Structure 1
Amino acid sequence: MKRDTDVPALRLENLTLGYDRHPAVHHLSCDIASGALVAIVGPNGAGKSTLLKALTGELSPLQGTFRLKAGREGVAYLPQQSEMDRSFPVCVFDMVAMGLWRDIGAFGGLRRSQAARVHAALAAVGLSGFEARQIGALSGGQLQRARFARMMLQDASLLLLDEPFNAIDTRTIEDLVAIVLGWHAEGRTILAVLHDLELVRRHFPECLLLAREPVGFGPTAEVLTSERLAIARRLASDFDDAARVCQRQPERETA
């Protein structure tokens, strides 16, 4: 995939998000360059997952706007694994093949070339031979590999990953990080909600630090300082969940 860095992949302008008029993210403004690899970090309840839900269209802004260069069709979203119903009776092959739904429709069958793409995606994540296994029989790491394979087939230019490495084994984390870095090398734009700050420092060149409001955005080494992390913890602990939607305040200086 060829990089096009002239137009931002994502532009956020005074974006405020919330539930039942209670704000969860305040006045977020930044440009995410095409081909960027960005970690979204912050304390629990800082609004990280809320931001991704808004970008997928699940949540409407309370204030402000965002613009997607690729449009909705160019976005692939990996929600937290805990949101998936593992009791649903579907085999690994069929679950991964759902990544082709834009090509085949809700009731279409797979052509031979499309089935070959599913097998290739499973091989790429180390799940060859698991095609007939029910998803409920998979370990957490195996299921996450299958979900990455499904995402591969969506062939999106903007990838949104919500805690993609949570509660899985170290080997699987290493393998999936390598896949993410491969997507980045192809020129895709990647936003990932992460908790492991050392992993962020090793692999993610840019970082957005949230604590219900932006604390910093820019090069990871400049954002993940002890001072900014302390500010984020304080803002998260002081936040009033019952607060009304506020008016725009002067923007906090970011990296």
Structure 2
Amino acid sequence: MNRAAIRVDKLSVSYGTAPAIREVTGVFEPGSLTAIAGPNGAGKSTLLKALMGEIATTGSVDLGVVRAPDIGYLPQASAIDRSFPITVADAVCLGAWKHIGVFGGLSMKGTVAMRQALQDVGLAGMESRPISDLSVGQFQRVLFARLLVQDARVIVLDEPFTAVDSRTIHDLTQIILRWKQDGRTVIAVLHDFDQIRSTFPQTLLLSHRVVAWGSTEDVLTENNLSKARALAEGWDVSTDQERRVA
């Protein structure tokens, strides 16, 4: 049986005629904690969307023994509409959809899980607050609480700490480390190399192609980072659309 949480083989994505990522091959092992790093516009968020099946690709993505409901996905905060009139409790309970179905009601057990998740992320007692009233850091805590309720085996995070205060980063990092202790697989796009080195044992350095993939110590070397920058600067940008690839 293939125990790989996620295996990719020659995975490529193009926007029109402009290539975004090309022939990415490798394995996110079960229980691993992997950062995806690289220059801006080098395809990191595109890779996550490809893993989640949100965009057309060539090559393959093999989830192994994992199934789609067992993957918790947190997109970039800028991609989430916070104007929708729901409360903090409603937003967190969306994480329970795989247990209750789209139209199912929340059980007492689900309510307890929601309240426990809010306590775990430091938002106890805020169930009735509209999400539109929250700060950026508070809203990110809500999204992590939703992932806790979802209870997924694989968690995929796209820039989870952008525009978030240092206290929130610390608290949410503890949640990530807890997931690691639980044996879950975590994949996160991050920009802070110091944070990656202190928290993530594995790193994929991506610059449209794989520059290096392995232990963080071996991957985040000055030589590899220079290669990533040079590859990004020399990438053939044939359309304005590719300039917007994250």
On whether the aligned pair clears a TM of 0.5, the verdict is yes
What CA deviation, in whole Å up to 9, does each residue of 1:134-176 have, x standing for no partner?
1011011100000000011111111100001111110000000
| Distance (whole Å) between structure 1 residues aligned to residue 91 and residue 107 of structure 2 | 16
Q: Are 2:212 and 2:224, in contact at CA under 8 Å, matched by a contact in 1? A: yes
Q: Are 2:21 and 2:209, in contact at CA under 8 Å, matched by a contact in 1? A: yes
Post-superposition offset of 1:186? 0.4
Give the equivalent residue in structure 1 for 2:10: 14
Show the 5 A alignment for 1:22-171: 22-61=18-57, 63-69=58-64, 70-171=66-167
Post-superposition offset of 1:71? 2.1
Q: CA RMSD in A?
A: 1.3
Post-superposition offset of 1:74? 1.6
| TM-score scaled by length of structure 2 | 0.94
Residues matched between the structures, number: 238
Q: Are 2:37 and 2:205, in contact at CA under 8 Å, matched by a contact in 1? A: yes
Post-superposition offset of 1:22? 2.2
| Distance (whole Å) between structure 1 residues aligned to residue 14 and residue 67 of structure 2 | 22
Q: Secondary structure at the match of 2:40?
A: coil
Instruction: Report the AA paired with residue 103 of structure 2.
Output: F
| Unmatched tracts of structure 1, length 5 or more | 244-255
Post-superposition offset of 1:18? 2.0
Give the equivalent residue in structure 1 for 2:219: 223
Gap change, CA 1:7 and 1:105, over 3 Å in 2: closer
Task: Specify which of 199, 202, 223 is matched with residue 203 of structure 1.
Answer: 199
Q: Does 2:205 align with 1:194?
A: no
Moved over 6 A (4+): none
Post-superposition offset of 1:7? 1.7
| TM-score scaled by length of structure 1 | 0.91
| Unmatched tracts of structure 2, length 5 or more | 240-246
Give the equivalent residue in structure 2 for 1:249: none
| Distance (whole Å) between structure 2 residues aligned to residue 53 and residue 159 of structure 1 | 13
Identical pairs, percent: 47
| Distance (whole Å) between structure 2 residues aligned to residue 77 and residue 216 of structure 1 | 24
| Distance (whole Å) between structure 2 residues aligned to residue 12 and residue 106 of structure 1 | 30
Q: Are 2:17 and 2:238, in contact at CA under 8 Å, matched by a contact in 1? A: no
